[in-house]
Amino acid sequence: MLELSTRTFGRAGAALAAIVALSFVIAPCSAAVPEFAQTTSEHHGTIVSNNQIRARVSSYGRKVELALRKADPLSVYNQFNPAMQKRTPKLKFVKVFEDLEAKSVVGERYGESVRSDGYGDYIYLAEYQWDANILLVVVGYDKFNKISGIYFRPLYALPDDPKAFYLDKADYRLPFDGVWWVYWGGDNDLQNYHVFSPDQRHAYDIGIVQNDSTHRDPGTSDSDYYCFGKPISSPTNGKVVEAVDGVDDNVPGTHNAKAPAGNHVIINCGQGEYLLMAHFKDHSLKVHAGEIVKRGQLIGDCGNSGNTSEPHLHIQLQDVPTLAHATSLPLYFEHFVKNGEKVRLGQVAQCDYIHK
């Protein structure tokens, strides 16, 4: 792994650190939170909805694209902010450009997005054809529109998914009220870092976003986060086979790798389906192992316990009760609204706004 490190991309550095886990990196990415799998982190940045900001940051990001096409690393280096230049040797950065060009030319751009860290910094992401692979380019911009971090990574093919076309046998509803937002979810590693873990491949991480942020300022306490303490109910009928409570909530930005799922429940939904919900608030669980639960019954409150850096709900469907031996199953919800449209039965993906 090639790495030139300077500062993080604000709090949103963790947002993208998960994408860094595999290949060659030129840039920062804050240490963050793996979930259950030992990946690098989880997503904190949020998609920017302001068209003017999105257009402005995209225009800066496309300058990096142009430099890649022209093999002109110095035009990018000259956009680095002082901290980035101080900690990034110019010759090493030039070498990274040369290595990229030696492997393949940068081809067609497949897509791009702009994300906010909630503190005034922005992150530009774009995907390009790169020989037989896809090259991910991620650039962080500070409030002065200078580059605060940058990295490049090929997106590799995923392992086969034996449950890709599985259709749920039980009926599942969204387990919360109000509008929530999908941090991680989808069938590729840009949308969902869980995809490389067979036991979590179809998992969702879901929280609440307001004004392009997951929290009120300053974001240093769990209570600053919009989803913290919100009630979580059972999505279906079943029997609780595991209920763990008493794990402390983390201070935002820290995590507990010793108890990855934190406070959590596993529900036997019947017909070989088990539902895991994790990271509940400490001492908030209202159910116990062996209890029969009904759809809509209160399970506990959204929290920040376990291997997670900020409050959210981790939810997944699996084929056995023990996570270590499980194969993740696709999870479909019934009768909900996604991005303003009614859905009778469907999955969700990163950046979807969802509610009952």
Residues 231 and 264 in one domain: yes
Question: By C-alpha distance, which of 84, 142, 134, 138 is closest to 114?
Answer: 138
Buried b (16+ CB within 10 A) or exposed e, 109-140: eeebbbbbbbeebbbbbbbbebeebbbbbbbb
Q: Which residue has the higher pLDDT, 88 or 72?
A: 72
**CA 152 – CA 76 distance, rounded (Å):** 13
Angle between helical axes of 51-70 and 90-103 (0-180°, round to 10): 80
Are the CB atoms for 204 and 235 separated by under 8 Å? no
pLDDT at 99: 86
pLDDT over 90 for what percent of the chain?
54
Strands 109-116 and 46-47, how do they pair? Answer: antiparallel
Residues 86 and 184 in one domain: no
Alpha helices in the chain (DSSP H): 13-17, 51-70, 73-77, 82-87, 90-103
Find the domain containing 63 and state its range.
Answer: 10-155
Give the predicted TM-score (pTM) of the model. Answer: 0.72
Read off the pLDDT of residues 95-105 as tens digits, 9 standing for 90 and up.
888 888 888 88
Q: What is the mean pLDDT of residues 220-243?
A: 97
**pLDDT band (50, 70, 90) for residue 202:** very high
Report yes or no on 254 lying in a domain. yes
Q: What is the mean pLDDT of residues 290-314?
A: 96
Are the CB atoms for 134 and 154 separated by under 8 Å? yes
Report yes or no on 166 lying in a domain. no
Give the total number of structural domains in the chain.
Answer: 2
**CA 59 – CA 71 distance, rounded (Å):** 18
Neighbour tally for 356: CB within 10 Å: 14
CATH number, domain at 26?
3.10.450.590
Residues 197 and 146 in one domain: no
Report yes or no on 132 lying in a domain. yes
pLDDT at 47: 61
Report yes or no on 62 lying in a domain. yes
Residues 203 and 344 in one domain: yes
pLDDT over 70 for what percent of the chain?
85
CATH number, domain at 289?
2.70.70.10
pLDDT for 266 beyond 60: yes
pLDDT for 230 beyond 90: yes
Q: What is the mean pLDDT of residues 327-339?
A: 97
The H or E element containing residue 130 is strand 122-130
Residues 124 and 240 in one domain: no
Task: Indicate the DSSP class of residue 251.
Answer: P
Residues 269 and 144 in one domain: no
Residues 148 and 246 in one domain: no
Residues 198 and 344 in one domain: yes
**pLDDT band (50, 70, 90) for residue 46:** low
Spatial CB neighbours of 211, under 8 Å, sequence gap ≥ 6: none
